């Protein structure tokens, strides 16, 4: 192997992982150099790799993996396997696993670069965050995670560019969840009546926007994780995604439901609560939205419901779009705004594949 080859290891082949493999196939065809060689792929149940790093065909990787009889080795063994490869390596983590995230410092310290949409490593403990960047700086390995906020939208790269060029970010606010965006755009539209809250939650689930258990979206933690990542990049040492106020939309009485299905069954009984929230906003000529904000000067992060004028860009959002506004000294009173699809396999994978291009171009 030579300088014009890069080994790629893929962990996770679900909704995002499958889309990533298809985009990797396109990338490998469009940019034949350096040669991107898939040498490892795994899910939580199966793995496929060869001791001599023989190439795994990208287009048939999923079938080959399905036919494999190997179970995934310990992660630290996978990292040693990659570190010993005869060329540079990139580990693509398409899981939402905390165990995989915890191993990033080890991988980076062994010279293995990382690209991932997994939020866990960057929104977990502040110590893990520090360990990741210390390890990367020491070894020169790269770590990119654009899709951990706003899927493929250029949110993290834009924030890094603002900071690195000396702009001062004063405030970041927006809609950071595709699920929450869809729910409020259809429950409390700027024109028309909107549906019943529980009906919209069921619709969002049927459309595949929500997590298998919709409570994982409605408890606000997904948004809190994204804000933790942005706040840290803006310079605030946020300790964890539970270190600031996060409003949950799960009625207290339903927190103990044994399953997502039971939760959905009982949710209609609580529609009146959300209806009141909507009516209160309407009385003031406004609409309610689920937003997150970071006030950098005040060191204040919060997640929850807020009322907006109907003409506000946050109120006028469509579908499951995200919107993120950066208020900075350079941009003055007109924020830099990023808007578009913020959930879904293809757009999330795009951020991952684009990160891979960035990493490879620095080798
Ligand atoms: P899946 O479909 O559950 O696939 C996970 C894969 O990882 C499976 O193949 C599983 O076997 C494997 N796996 C899990 N643990 C493993 C382990 N320890 N070892 C080996 N393999 C393991 O998950 P997705 O949907 O493909 O998501 C993958 C990652 O992308 C997650 O970290 C997720 O948070 C992240 N992500 C997804 C989306 C999305 O739209 N699907 C987004 C961002 C990041 O912008 C999107 C978003 O935030 C969606 C959010 N719900 C919203 O805004 O409403």
Going by CA atoms, what residue is nearest to atom 47 of ligand 1? 343
Q: 173 and 301 in contact (C-beta within 8 Å)? A: no
Question: How far apart, in whole angstroms, are the C-alpha atoms of residue 167 and residue 330?
Answer: 6
Question: How far apart, in whole angstroms, are the C-alpha atoms of residue 301 and residue 287?
Answer: 22
Which residues, 6 or more positions from 178, have their beta carbon under 8 angstroms from its beta carbon? 151, 209, 320, 321, 322, 341, 342, 343, 344
Please report the pLDDT score of residue 90 as a whole number.
Answer: 98
**What ipTM did this prediction achieve?**
0.97
Only one residue has tokens 């506004």, namely 325
To the query of whether residue 283 is one of the catalytic residues in this protein, the response is: no
* pLDDT single digits (tens) 275-295: 999 999 999 999 999 999 999
| Ligand 1 contacts CB of residue 151 (under 6 A) | yes
Q: 102 and 69 in contact (C-beta within 8 Å)? A: no
Please report the pLDDT score of residue 206 as a whole number.
Answer: 87
Please report the pLDDT score of residue 2 as a whole number.
Answer: 55
pTM of the model: 0.95
Please report the pLDDT score of residue 249 as a whole number.
Answer: 97
Question: How far apart, in whole angstroms, are the C-alpha atoms of residue 300 and residue 252?
Answer: 26
- Reading across the β-sheet that carries 5-11, which strands appear in turn? 47-49, 35-42, 5-11, 88-93, 113-115, 143-144
Which residue in the list 88, 103, 205, 226 is annotated as catalytic? Answer: 226
| Ligand 1 contacts CB of residue 43 (under 6 A) | yes
Please report the pLDDT score of residue 12 as a whole number.
Answer: 97
Please state the atom number of ligand 1 nearest to the C-alpha of residue 96: 32
160 membership: H or E segment, kind and range: helix 156-164
Please report the pLDDT score of residue 343 as a whole number.
Answer: 86
For each of the chain's 363 residues, which pLDDT tens digit applies?
A: 456 999 999 999 999 999 999 999 999 999 999 999 999 999 999 999 999 999 999 999 999 999 999 999 999 999 999 999 999 999 999 999 999 999 999 999 999 999 999 999 999 999 999 999 999 999 999 999 999 999 999 999 999 999 999 999 999 999 999 999 999 999 999 988 899 999 999 999 888 778 778 898 999 999 999 999 999 999 999 999 999 999 999 999 999 999 999 999 999 999 999 999 999 999 999 999 999 999 999 999 999 999 999 999 999 999 999 999 999 999 999 999 999 998 889 999 999 999 999 999 999
């Amino acid at each position: 192997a030579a300088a014009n080859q890069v080994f790629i290891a893929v962990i996770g082949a679900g909704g995002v992982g499958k889309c990533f493999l298809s985009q990797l196939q396109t990338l490998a065809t469009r940019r034949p150099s350096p040669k991107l060689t898939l040498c490892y792929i795994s899910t939580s149940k199966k793995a496929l790799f060869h001791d001599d790093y023989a190439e795994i065909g990208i287009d048939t990787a999923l079938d080959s993996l399905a036919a494999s009889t190997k179970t995934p080795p310990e992660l630290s063994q996978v990292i040693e396997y990659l570190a010993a490869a005869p060329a540079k390596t990139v580990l693509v983590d398409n899981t939402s696993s905390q165990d995989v995230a915890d191993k990033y410092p080890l991988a980076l310290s062994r010279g293995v670069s990382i690209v991932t949409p997994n939020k866990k490593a960057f929104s977990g403990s502040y110590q893990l965050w520090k360990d990741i960047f210390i390890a990367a700086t020491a070894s020169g390995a790269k770590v990119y995670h654009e899709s951990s906020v706003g899927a493929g939208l250029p949110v993290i790269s834009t924030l890094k560019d603002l900071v690195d060029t000396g702009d001062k970010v004063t405030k970041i606010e927006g809609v950071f969840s595709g699920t929450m965006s869809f729910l409020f755009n259809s429950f409390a539209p700027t024109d028309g009546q909107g549906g019943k809250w529980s009906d919209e939650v069921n619709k969002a689930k049927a459309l595949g926007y929500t997590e298998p258990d919709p409570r994982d979206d409605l408890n606000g933690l997904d948004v809190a994780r994204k804000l933790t990542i942005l706040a840290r990049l803006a310079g605030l040492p946020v300790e964890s995604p539970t270190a600031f106020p996060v409003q949950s939309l799960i009625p207290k009485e339903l927190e103990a439901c044994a399953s997502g299905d039971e939760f959905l069954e009982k949710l209609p009984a609580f529609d009146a609560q959300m209806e009141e929230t909507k009516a209160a906003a309407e009385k003031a000529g406004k609409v309610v939205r689920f937003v997150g904000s970071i006030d950098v000067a005040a060191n204040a992060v919060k997640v929850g419901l807020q009322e907006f004028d109907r003409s506000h860009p946050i109120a006028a959002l469509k579908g499951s779009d995200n919107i993120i506004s950066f208020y900075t000294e350079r941009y003055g009173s007109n924020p830099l705004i990023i808007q578009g699809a913020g959930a879904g396999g293809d757009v999330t994978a795009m951020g991952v594949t684009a990160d891979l291009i960035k990493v490879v171009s620095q080798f």
